C-alpha cells in the first residue's frame, strides 16, 4: 500500500527529505504523497522513514492504494531503474 498524509499535517517538511523515492511534495495546503512513487520504503529501509520522523503521526496507510509487499518491491526496482 502507498501511504497518505492526513489533514492534521503541520507542514513541518521533515518527511520530504527522508523519502528515498521523492514521493512527498507540497500540495495546495499540506504535503501529499504520490502513490505511484511510494513504496513505504520497501527496498530501502525496514520502516517508512516519513512515518518515523513525523512529529504529529499524520502519515497513514492509504486504503485506496493497496499493494502487496512483492508489488512494492517491484515498484522500487522500477523506480531505481528509471533513475
Q: Domain limits of the chain? A: 3-82
- Is pTM beyond 0.85? Reply is yes
**CATH node for 3-82:** 3.30.70.20
Question: Could you tell me the CA-to-CA distances from 61 to 6, 15, 27, 65 in Å, in that order?
Answer: 10, 15, 18, 8
* pLDDT tens string 8-38: 999 999 999 999 999 999 999 999 999 999 9
In angstroms, the CA 6 to CA 38 distance is: 15
Grid cell digits, residue 61:
496507510
* pLDDT tens string 56-76: 999 999 999 999 999 999 999
Amino acid at each position: 500500500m502507498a501511504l497518505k498524509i492526513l489533514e492534521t499535517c503541520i507542514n513541518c517538511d521533515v518527511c520530504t527529505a527522508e523519502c528515498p523515492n521523492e514521493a512527498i511534495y507540497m500540495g495546495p495546503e499540506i504535503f501529499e504523497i504520490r502513490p505511484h512513487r511510494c513504496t513505504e520504503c520497501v527496498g530501502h529501509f525496514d520502516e517508512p522513514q516519513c512515518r518515523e520522523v513525523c512529529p504529529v503521526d499524520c502519515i497513514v496507510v492509504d486504503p485506496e492504494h493497496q499493494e502487496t509487499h512483492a508489488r512494492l518491491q517491484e515498484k522500487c526496482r522500477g523506480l531505481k531503474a528509471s533513475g
